Amino acid sequence: MVTCIYLFDEEIDAKTLAQWYYYRWKIESYFKLLKSSGFNLEEWQQKEPLALFKRLLIISNACILIWKIANDNSDNTKAIRDFLISLSGKQIQRGVDFTYPALLSGLESYLATLDLLRQFSVEDIFKMRDELVEIIGIEI
Yes or no: say if 104 and 63 are a contact pair by the CB < 8 Å rule: yes
Using one digit for the tens of pLDDT, what is the confidence trace for 73-88? 998 999 999 999 999 8
Predicted structure pTM score: 0.69
Q: Counting runs of H as helices and runs of E as strands, what totals does the chain give?
A: 5, 0
In Å, what is the CA distance from 26 to each residue of 1, 22, 37, 105, 129? 33, 6, 15, 20, 43
Q: What is the pLDDT of residues 120-131, one digit of tens each?
A: 999 999 999 999
Q: Is the pLDDT of residue 100 over 90?
A: no
**What residue ranges do the domains of the chain occupy?**
47-136
Q: Which of 62, 64, 112 is nearest to 87 (CA)?
A: 112
For 100, other C-beta atoms within 10 Å of its C-beta total: 17
Question: How sure is the predictor about 45, in pLDDT bands with cuts at 50, 70 and 90?
Answer: confident
